[in-house]
Each structure stands twice: as structure tokens, then as C-alpha cells.
Amino acid sequence: MNEEARKNGHGSGRRSTPKILLVEDERHLAQGIAENLEDEGHHVTVESHGARALDTLLDETWDLAILDVMLPGLDGFEICRRARTQGSNVPILFLSARGEVDDRIRGLEAGGDDYLPKPFHLRELLLRVDRILDRTARETQAGASTGEEVRFGDNVFSFRTYEGLSWDERSHTLTHKEAMILRCLVRRRGEVVKREDILEEVWGHEVFPSTRTIDNFILRLRKRFEPDPERPVFFHTVRGVGYRFTQAPSADAPSGDPRALSSSNESGSPR
Ligand code: CA
């Protein structure tokens, strides 16, 4: 394959050799997973120690990170949380012996994309890896082809780079999931979007985070972009249903009155 084709990827829009970071401290399991992923045409780097894994994750660009939860040094959730805090958008799939619902939710709340309880069939792991890589390739392409950028109030955000600048001139790098939720709301601006619709669009059918997870993501978006997160003017709660995004600050106040936006009327409440 020539250099151009390798750079651009082909067909599905995926890079021709996806780079996967596998963090797993059970040596035989790590070896088995790595061999299988390499047979599928992926390039795999294995780390077995939590703190080193975080460095490796942040030092390079990856198409996917597979994180075991119980690790020496730093657990998988914490690696994910810290990576997200430092602006990494890499898709993350957790592997864990702990298959409890609470742990799945913890993983998703830490910023993970999917969760596979141990023991699992290698075939299932490969299918999930495939699905994540396909989905992110599609999303990247969709963002790149429209060069999408959204401006709301004095905030601006790019769906291509996941970088944004908020009204107070702070720069933000959104996680993949935050960006997907923002995209979902922006695409349906002005409409009430049900929590279930957000779950389906952003997480798909394979995992089932609670609706509380969505609420937490919305709180994070408000903290980033709302001048007063307690009285949102962009990300409105529609109680018992979901959320509504308005692109221009909606304060239901007469236009031309500069005090309107800071007045205490209930701009963020459901009507
Ligand atoms: Ca382990």
C-alpha cells in the first residue's frame, strides 16, 4: 500500500492499521488478546502497569485503548479519568472481572466507551473492538467532511478537533462522549431530546448507562459553557423527559435589554 493510502485509510474510513493500547496485567491473557488483535490487522502495544500505561496513553495517538480495571499502580477507571482530564479523546473499552452494573456505570462515568466483563469470548472482544473503531471512523469522517463548528452565545466548539473556547475565554477539550452528546443536541436544536434518544445515539445498544449518566454529562457541558450553570441558557432541562439545546441564549426576555440575561427569571426551567 502506498504512503497516501496508508495516511488516508480506505474503505470504511479507518486507518489501515489501527493502533491499540492494551493494558492488562495477566500476562497470558494479554498475550492471547494481543495475538488475536494482530491477526485482525491491528497494531498492539501491551502495558501491564497502571501508571506507565497512563504515560503511554498520553504520549502517543491511539485508535483505541483497552483497559483492565484491576491493575497495579493505577486502576483502569483512574487511568481513564486522568486521561480525559488531560484532554485525551481516545475510545476506551474496559475489561473487568467485576461485571456489576455499578462498575459498568463507574466505567462509563469515568469517560469509557464500552465495558466487557470477564470472562469473555475473544470473538466478542474482537467484535466490540471492530464496532468501536468503525463508529469512531464514521464520526471522524462526518465531522471532517462538514468541517463542523458550532457557535452558541460566545462559545465555539469544533466537532473535528473536539476543542472549544468558552464565553470566558477558557479553552476546553471535550471527551468523545461529551462531544457526541453535544452533537446530538445541536443537530436537534430547539427540540426536546429524550434521554433515551441520547443514550441510543451516543452509546448504541451494547451498553446501558443509567439516565443519571446523561444528567452528569449535561452538568459537565453546563460547567464548561454556561455563564451561570445554575441558570442555563443553552442546555435546558425538560423535567422528566430530557434536554433542549438553544443556540442563541434564550432568556424569554425582551431583546435589546442587556440586563435580560442576568436577570433572575427562570430561563433554564421547563415551560
Ligand atoms: Ca488485572
Q: Which domains does the chain have, with CATH numbers?
A: 3-142 (3.40.50.2300), 147-260 (1.10.10.10)
- Condensed to tens digits (0 to 9), the pLDDT of residues 209-253 reads 778 888 999 999 999 999 999 999 999 999 989 999 998 876 543
The full 3-state SS of the chain, as one line of letters, equals CCHHHHHHCECCCECCCCEEEEECCCHHHHHHHHHHHHHCCCEEEEECCHHHHHHHHHHCCCCEEEEECCCCCCCHHHHHHHHHHCCCCCCEEEEECCCCHHHHHHHHHCCCCEEEECCCCHHHHHHHHHHHHHHHHHHHHHHHHHCCEEEECCEEEECCCCEEECCCCCEEECCHHHHHHHHHHHHCCCCEEEHHHHHHHHHCCCCCCCHHHHHHHHHHHHHHHCCCCCCCCCEEEECCCEEEECCCCCCCCCCCCCCHHHCCCCCCCCC
Q: What's the confidence (pLDDT) of residue 37?
A: 96
CA of 74 to the centre of ligand 1 (A): 11
Length of the chain: 271
Map grid coordinates 468503525 to a residue: 134
pLDDT of amino acid 259: 38
pLDDT of residue 215: 92
Burial degree of 42 (CB within 10 A; 0-12, 13-18, 19+): buried
CA 240 to ligand 1 center in whole angstroms: 39
Which residues of the chain are under the pLDDT cut of 50? 1-12, 145, 147, 252-271
Ligand 1 centroid vs 25 CA: distance in angstroms?
5
pLDDT (0 to 100) of residue 14: 64
Give the model's pLDDT for residue 21.
98
Instruction: Please tell me the distance between residue 75's alpha carbon and the centre of ligand 1 in angstroms.
Output: 9
Ligand 1 centroid – CA 115 distance (Å): 14
pLDDT at 98: 67
Contact predicate 129/20, CB 8 Å: yes
For residue 17, report the distance from its CA to the centre of ligand 1, in Å: 27
List strands edge to edge, sheet with 192-194.
Answer: 192-194, 242-245, 235-238
Percent of the chain topping pLDDT 70: 81
Q: Which residues partner with 156 through β-bridges? A: 151, 165
Q: State the distance from the centre of ligand 1 to the C-alpha of 50, rounded, in angstroms.
A: 10
Q: What is the Rg, in whole angstroms, of the alpha carbon atoms belonging to the chain?
A: 20
Task: Give the pLDDT of residue 143.
Answer: 58
Looking at residue 182, what is its pLDDT?
Answer: 93
Query: What does the pLDDT read at residue 241?
Result: 93
Report the pLDDT value the prediction gives residue 200, as an integer from 0 to 100. 81
